[in-house]
Copies of this chain bind each other. A is one copy, B any other.
Amino acid sequence: MKENKIQINFKKILNNAGLKNTLPRLTVLKILSETKHPKTTKDIFNKLKKNDIDLVTLYRTLSSFEEKKIIKRVDLQKDAVYYELNTDHHHHIICTNCDKVADFVDENHEKLITKALAQVKNFKSITSHSFDLFGICNSCSAK
């Protein structure tokens, strides 16, 4: 079954990261993979069955996942920490009115990075970057 296969993949992810295979961790991975959109700690906690997993455990889980690069933080300019699975590299378009998020990919920022490096003298290599867009989505602007 598909359900089962996913579980196995989650276990593999944890093993590769050197993290023990526990219910809280599998549950968080499951929640994060349910929809690919970024979620806050609170979002995730609310999806847990009541008292299923302690909030402290959730914080520790997210923290270890981030350290192991299983997830990454996303800045949606919202005064809250958002996380998403660290799978394919993509960027976001965020509706500043309703918080809807759409994803897009971009292969051309390499050129921009090269140009940027030419402008500064203290850096010569870049390990990561942010590139997200903010606007009003069509349904909000229709109102």
Residues on A lying within 8 angstroms of B by beta carbon are 73, 75, 77, 91, 93, 95-96, 100, 102-106, 108-109, 111-113, 115-117, 119-139, 141
What residues of chain B lie closer than 8 Å to A136, measured between beta carbons? 123, 125, 127
Chain B residue at smallest Cβ distance from A91: B116
Chain B contacts of A108 at CB under 8 A? Answer: 111-112, 115
Please, how many angstroms separate the alpha-carbon atoms of A77 and B124 in the complex?
A: 20
**A77, B128: Cα distance in complex, Å:** 11
Beyond the given pairs A104-B116, A123-B138, 17 more chain A to chain B contacts, judged by CB atoms under 8 angstroms and listed by A's residue number, are: A75-B75, A93-B117, A93-B123, A93-B126, A95-B123, A104-B115, A105-B119, A106-B116, A109-B131, A123-B133, A126-B134, A126-B135, A127-B134, A127-B136, A129-B134, A130-B132, A130-B134
Chain B residues, Cβ within 8 Å of A138: 121-124
Distance in angstroms from A73 CB to nearest chain B CB is: 7
CB-defined contacts of A111 to chain B, threshold 8 Å: 108
With a cutoff of 8 Å between Cβ atoms, the chain B residues found around residue A131 in the complex are 109, 112, 129-131
| Docked CA distance A95–B128 (Å) | 11
